[in-house]
Amino acid sequence: MKAIVYTKYGSPDVLQLKEVEKPEPKDNEVLIKIYATSLNASDVEFLTASPSYVRMWGLLKPKYNILGSDIAGKVEAIGKNVTLFQVGDDVYGDVMYRWGGLAEYVCAPEKSLMLKPSNLSFEDAASIPQAAVVALQSLNYNEPLKKGQKVLIIGAGGSTGSFAIQIAKAYGAEVTGVDNTEKLEMMRSLGADHVIDYTKENFTKNGKQYDLIVGLVTPHSIFDYKRSLNSKGAFVMTGGFVPKLLQTLIFGSLISVFSNKKMGILMHEQNKKDLGIINKLYNDGKLVPVIDKKYSLKDAAKAFQSLIDGKAKGKVVILQT
């Protein structure tokens, strides 16, 4: 089968289209013929080994040689202990930490997959699992999001941010999206009540305060975010470079102990319950995956570069053609 392979950390230039052996499912796994795969920030992190904590999964070279965790496709074979799926089922899910989605086929544990709703295209299904669940869990980080709460989303024009805006609006929140000039109109179209162009305005200095700040990207100090929270507000960081992670871990924990403000790091946990909530929002017309561009497998390097450059509005999807 064809797959995008990398054997060393680096830029998208290290990605190669190769013929590799088609996998065979273990007893609790299904073999999926992949129709679509979407990229996440985690794919870029594991490609470039930045942040450096990625090297826990391979100090000098990648442990897994095929990236891609958000997949959608059709079950082609099942292991002898599989009970949830049958050959021919359309499925989707997040296979992070075993990867393999940038290929024609992948094996995945049945517990990491869900049946794809018939009204959900393969492209849209592949764009959902990780980004939408991270968005949902971030918005409910401190407590369930309530109607009327003020939410600020940093990086709201990206893959996770495009979901976060829509989910927050579905909960009835007042949403402010922060991103670059090119993404302002898209954020408005998704329902953002206010938008901030970070190239022209530093939101931490405008005197406004929020009930929740979601840091999908975190260019500022933890103390800047603290200043932008109301007296019982919360800040959640979803990832980033080690210095900012350590700052949030250490000082955010202290702030959480000695004040009513809660500041911390999201420990994303993929689960079917949250995917079910996302499915309902989709079926109710309250959430629509935003796909910036679709690439073929052979153009995977270009897809990665669009994420690295920060130009993608919403999700980047790779199709098997």
Residue pair 66/99 in contact by the 8 Å Cβ criterion: yes
- Domain shared by 77 and 163, yes or no: no
- Render pLDDT for 47-91 as a digit per residue (tens, 0 to 9): 999 988 889 899 999 999 999 999 999 999 999 999 999 999 999
What gap in Å lies between CA 231 and CA 104, rounded to an integer?
51
C-alpha to C-alpha distances, 41 to 106, 150, 239, 244, nearest whole angstrom: 20, 26, 9, 16
Q: CA–CA separation, 204 vs 221, rounded Å?
A: 10
Say how far apart CA 268 and CA 79 lie, in whole Å.
28
112-160 tens-digit pLDDT: 999 999 999 999 999 999 999 999 999 999 899 999 999 999 999 999 9
> Span 30-52, mean pLDDT?
95
- Per the structure, how many domains does the chain have? 2
Residue 225 domain flag: yes
Residue 85 lies in a domain: yes
Question: Whole-number mean pLDDT of the chain?
Answer: 95
Are 32 and 100 in a shared domain? yes
133 exposed, middle or buried (CB, 10 Å; 0-12, 13-18, 19+)? buried
Q: Can you give the CATH number for the domain in which 229 is found?
A: 3.40.50.720
Token pair for 311: 């130009």
137 and 216 in one domain? yes
Per-residue pLDDT tens digits for 231-278: 999 999 998 777 888 888 899 899 999 999 999 999 888 888 999 999
Which pLDDT score is estimated for 83? 96
- Strands of 124-218 (E only): list them: 150-154, 174-179, 194-197, 210-215
- Shared domain check, 161 and 92: no
Domain range for residue 207? 131-265
Domain of residue 76, CATH code: 3.90.180.10
